[in-house]
Amino acid sequence: MLAGVVFLFLLFAPATDFQADGLKALEAKQYDQAKQLFAQAVQADPTDYAAHFHLALANSLLGSNSEAIAEYLKTLDLKPGLYQAELNLGLLLDREKRPAEAVPHLAAAVQAKPAEFRPRWRLAEALLASGDFAQAEQHYQAAAGIDPKSAAAELGWGRAQARQKRLPDAAAHFRKAAELDAGFNDALLELAGLYEQDHQPAEAIAIYEKFPDNVAAQERLGELLIESSRFAEAIPYLRRPLPATPPPPTAWRWPPRTA
């Protein structure tokens, strides 16, 4: 993460000793000290957008997101359309579960650098979270075009289509995400759940069968087989192993002892 941060703040040449020292503190990961120095730079020149940007950055690295958001907004008041501020502000707002507020800032970042994957994908994520599924789909598709190997873009694309009740289209992207990155295999379980919601148990069963080591998936597989009247096939999935240590006799003796 720090490498990206360094790239962002080195775009601005320090105008004061406070900023120069603040940049050194950021590079040394001394974020508290950096915050103090950038606050002094802002106090020395409240119209210096770079000082406000760096103060926002230090606050975000300290986890002070509300303060960081305020400083990014001030940065954009002083320097409208600044790509780094638009992107960072959008990311912070999305992290704070405020996706609808994040959308215009991420959209501005995409407009500034339409060939960049990260702002495009994060815009799609914010649109999906805010309920604009059609727009989210368009940006996931664009993100996948920028990086055809992105499993995250494929999965988001599928989710956006699923929200629009286009499960056949969505399924292809869920499967593609799992093909691109084994870490996304659980997306297939999400797809199985979508098939169940769409009353397609056979398709869900076929997916659950591919997860023999997932206890929950195997239990659900057994239940779906019973619901589908495939009783003989369900038996192996409904059996439970005996406990390694049997319970004490008093726990199961019948009839129970009486005083």
Say if residues 40 and 88 touch (Cβ distance below 8 Å): no
Would you give the DSSP letter of residue 99? H
Question: Does any domain span residue 231?
Answer: yes
Question: Does any domain span residue 223?
Answer: yes
Q: 138 by DSSP, 3-state: which?
A: helix
Torsions phi, psi of 11, nearest 5?
-70, -20
Question: Does any domain span residue 78?
Answer: no
**CATH code, domain with 197:** 1.25.40.10
Q: How far is CA 83 from the centre of its chain?
A: 21
Domain housing 218: 185-238
The pLDDT of residue 216 is: 93
Say if residues 68 and 56 touch (Cβ distance below 8 Å): yes
Alpha helix (H) residue ranges in the chain: 2-9, 17-27, 31-44, 49-61, 65-78, 83-95, 99-112, 117-130, 133-146, 151-163, 167-180, 186-197, 201-208, 215-227, 231-238
The pLDDT of residue 44 is: 94
Cα–Cα distances (Å) from 7 to 4, 24, 75, 195, 208, in that order, read 5, 13, 18, 44, 45
Question: Does any domain span residue 217?
Answer: yes
Question: Does any domain span residue 215?
Answer: yes
Mean pLDDT by 10 residues, the chain (259 residues): 43 68 94 96 95 96 97 98 96 97 98 97 98 98 98 98 98 98 97 97 97 94 95 83 47 38
Torsions phi, psi of 86, nearest 5?
-60, -45
The pLDDT of residue 17 is: 86
Please state the domain count of the chain: 1
Say if residues 237 and 215 touch (Cβ distance below 8 Å): no
Question: Does any domain span residue 204?
Answer: yes
The pLDDT of residue 199 is: 97
Residue type, 188: L
Question: Does any domain span residue 196?
Answer: yes
Taking the CA atoms of 11, 67, 27 and 89 in sequence, report the sign of the dihedral they define. negative
Question: Does any domain span residue 91?
Answer: no
* CA Rg value for the chain: 27
